[in-house]
Amino acid sequence: MLPQINKTGFGAITVGGKRYEYDILIRLDGHIEKRKKKLSKAKYGTSHKISLEEAVQIYEEGAQELIIGTGQIGYVELSTEADLFFREKECPVKLVATPTAAKVWNVLEGRVIALFHVTC
């Protein structure tokens, strides 16, 4: 997939040679944007559980898969409502630790979007 992820470590991810020190979304066209984790934090008091409100913001029409880098040791999870939302959209979600998710992203093909959590 493009853009390629060059490196990930606690607190940062480097994509296409540019370093980001915050969670990111990668869109179908390769555009990178900052994750709106406040949507989940407002509901659950943490950004480690993705709310329905955030799921709606993450999803992009036409996406055939979503890769979620769950953090360096894998704390991020979907809420029941977010899981159901992605199922209804027929967009399978792959939740794996961010270092593994980066490797998966770099070899994927197709209409895939991604979210990468860069801490925990």
Is it the case that residue 1 has pLDDT exceeding 80?
no
Q: How many domains does the chain have?
A: 1
| pLDDT value, residue 117 | 98
pLDDT at 2: 84
| Number of alpha helices (DSSP H) and beta strands (DSSP E) in the chain | 4, 10
Q: What is the pTM of this model?
A: 0.96
Positive/negative CA dihedral, 72, 107, 23, 47:
negative
pLDDT confidence bin for 36, thresholds 50/70/90: very high
pLDDT tens figures, 56-114: 999 999 999 999 999 999 999 999 999 999 999 999 999 999 999 999 999 999 999 99
Domain span at residue 103 reads 5-116
pLDDT greater than 80 at residue 26: yes
- Where are any strands of DSSP class E within the chain? 5-9, 12-15, 18-20, 24-26, 32-34, 49-50, 65-69, 77-78, 93-96, 112-116
User: Which tokens hold the place of 64?
Assistant: 């055939």
Q: What is the pLDDT of residues 12-25, one digit of tens each?
A: 999 999 999 999 99
For residue 22, what is the domain's CATH number?
3.40.1230.10
